[in-house]
Chain A
Amino acid sequence: MTTRDTTPGSLRVTATPASALPGDEPVVVDPSTEPATELNLTRGVVVGRVDRTAAGTGTVEVVVDGWRFELRVEPERRARLRERATRDRASGHVAGPLEVRAIIPGRVVSVAVATGDRVDAGQELLVVEAMKMQNELRSPRAGVVERVAVTASQTIELGDLLVVLAAAEAAG
């Protein structure tokens, strides 16, 4: 289940491994309350290279008062999903029903499976168009499709539920 307690559009900023110091904590910035589109180019702030890879995502070099940071920016919701997925994997909860959620917003182009279909790990589930490119969403594990939550030409947001895979059966 998605917890939508973070305001839409919040961005999480972390130092990249190359530039982080132990003790660095991620910072969450809410562009709707900060002066987001107005880059604060006052004395002391230099923005270097900006590598934007997707909406609200990328790495930026910023120098503030002579301190240089390489910062990764991503939507806060996606960062949380990633964290939860890592936690779930680590605690071995892979046997429960698996919710496959959108990690980029876009438009569903086609759906390749239906309720009851048995899929292999890596098998294509659906195709999403985002940023003028097509992305195939593939099944993270073998299993049975319990539910398909979207249809072709539907617009999806980050975090939207797409497909649910049934709980894995006992070894076999």
Chain B
Amino acid sequence: MTDAAAAPTAASLRKDRGDDRPFSRVLIANRGEIAVRIARACRDLGMEVVAVYSEADAGAPHVRAADRAVLLGPAPAAESYLRIDVIVEAALATGAEAIHPGYGFLAERAAFARAVEEAGLVFVGPTSEAIAALGDKLAARRLAVAAGVPVVPGTLEPAPVDRPDQVEAILAEADAIGFPLLVKAAAGGGGRGMRRVERRDELPSALAAAAAEARSAFGDGAVYLEREVRPARHIEVQLIGDSQGTIVALGERDCSIQRRHQKLVEESPAPGLAPDERRRLHALAVSAAAAARLTNAATAEFLLDPDGEFRFLEVNTRLQVEHGVTELVADVDLVAEQFRIAAGRPLSPRIVEAASRAADPERHAIEVRLSAEDPARGFAATPGRIGTWTMPSGPGVRVDSGVEAGSRVPPDYDPLVAKILVVAEDRPAAIARLRRALDETQVSGIQTTLPFLAHVAASPAFEPGSLSTDWVTEHWDGEAARAAAFGRAAQAAAAAIARAAAEAADSGPRPPLTSPASSWAAAGRDDATDRWPR
């Protein structure tokens, strides 16, 4: 920790002037909806915003939300949003005092946090040491065990790969865990570097395959074994801590509806838990965080196994996509608090008070992720240009989005285009509100996951007992749902053509096809330039 006689910081100088903003200028090292969300917190606090963008994002809403913007490079993330040197340089050049990494990209890259710290800037998140310590899932498991937090049964050391002399030893460990089991990457996430092993004789090749994938995806081929908990509910705890060592839990979220390890729906509180169970879960999460000396915002993930036990999985040392769900239930601004903490302040009284009520919340919130994917074609990505963009609003509705009507959704990044959140006094009211909000939502130009989300919201299977990480596979037939809409679409199309004929008759001759005024020719040009491989 810094000693009392250190030189005045920019923050302390400002305070002397009566300016109590955490920072005067912040660079947001991200794009899309989260960059817009962070910019809003900055503006609420009176701080200036520096945005960064790739060539694919010129003119994007997150750029226009900023006071200044710096071009990073061409569209591919590796040439733009992952360029540590260019981003740090942009912050120094624009006089930004702090950098917020958002989620994804460099948010959990310890090297980035270190580069920011070494440049004399403030990284808005945990320390690079905490990120490094918890980014190694195996190290995090060992930390949890040492802190007395139950983990998913499995190994605590990297498994030997391609070591015939150690095969018997690892097979013995696997027998103790029981089959089917999972091989997971220590440096991993999002399901990569993971393999499911049903039989003993499959283990050595699964280890090799997972290790190779992990090495290529994360640069680290260390893998370990974990029992497969199935069906499982995926429940995570929002943590926040200041630099003085105070850590609190602000509530938990249930993220059990997933597809291929990508979350689709999140809600808070986790349905079906009693207040003392919540309290126990929150305490476990805080223990794990304290053992890791965590500061700023992070999330501890657990599995609720069929026996009702909470099993620690990992800690994510970043603000998560679904953080808004907790903000709505607890009525706090997590991003604003992140900035205060990063500026060295203790946790706000409001945050501490919200944490004290977190085990017995009086509201229920649900978030669904709207993505540019086709739920009738296996959720294949659907980049393209958005036409109509009508998002819901009104009581208890919040939308976080990074696109608008006419925006191009590039193929180079995550297909998330908006988060639609609702909050209400209890779960049934929240579900009804979610249905209403999704009814109001209209998007044209690209296919989105809207029909799938509407199905989830309307489904009687969306109940606490049915929630599990297998839910999507069990409850969705995209092709059938789409076929059911075809008839009405055909009627609307026929009517649209008839109406266009009536309007044309009223308005006289159309311009010749070769004229620049011909909208038909213009649409054909758009089509030719906007068409993606499908």
Contacts and interface: CB of A to CB of B under 8 A. Distances in A.
Interface of A: 11, 13, 15, 18, 21, 23-24, 27, 29, 31, 34-40, 43-53, 55-58, 60-69, 71, 73, 131-132
B489 A71 contact: yes
Contact of B494 (A13, A43, A61): A13
B66 to A, nearest CB: 31
A66 to B, nearest CB: 3
Interface in B403-459: 439, 441-448, 450-451, 453-454
B444 A63 contact: yes
A73 B531 contact: no
A93 B515 CA distance: 41
A34 B495 contact: yes
B496 A47 contact: yes
A18 B531 contact: yes
A69 B523 contact: no
A67 B493 CA distance: 13
Contact of A67 (B387, B451, B494, B531): B451
Contacts of A34: 491, 494-495
**Main DSSP-derived SS at the B contact region:** helix
Interface in B482-517: 482-483, 485-502, 504, 509-510
Given A50-B497, A63-B444, A45 B487 contact: no
A66 B486 contact: no
Contacts of A35: 495
Contact of B444 (A21, A37, A46, A57): A46
B433 to A, nearest CB: 16
A23 to B, nearest CB: 7
Interface string B468-486: 0000000000010111011
B356 interface: no
**Main DSSP-derived SS at the A contact region:** strand
B441 to A, nearest CB: 8
Given A61-B444, A67-B481, A67-B485, A52 B501 contact: yes
Interface residues of B, number: 47
Contact of B492 (A18, A40, A43): A40
B332 interface: no
Nearest to B452: A66
A50 B510 CA distance: 14
Interface of B: 376-377, 387-388, 439, 441-448, 450-451, 453-454, 479, 481-483, 485-502, 504, 509-510, 520, 523-524, 531, 534
A131 B501 CA distance: 11
Nearest to B479: A21
A36 B495 contact: yes
A24 B502 CA distance: 29
Contact of B498 (A49, A56, A61, A66): A56
B494 A36 contact: yes
Given A18-B534, A27-B487, 6 more contacts: A21-B376, A61-B387, A62-B493, A64-B485, A66-B453, A68-B445
B488 to A, nearest CB: 5
Nearest to B488: A64
Contacts of B493: 13, 47, 60, 62, 69, 71, 73
A18 to B, nearest CB: 6
Contacts of A44: 439
Given A65-B485, A66-B443, A39 B495 contact: yes
A60 B444 contact: no
Contact of B495 (A24, A37, A64): A37
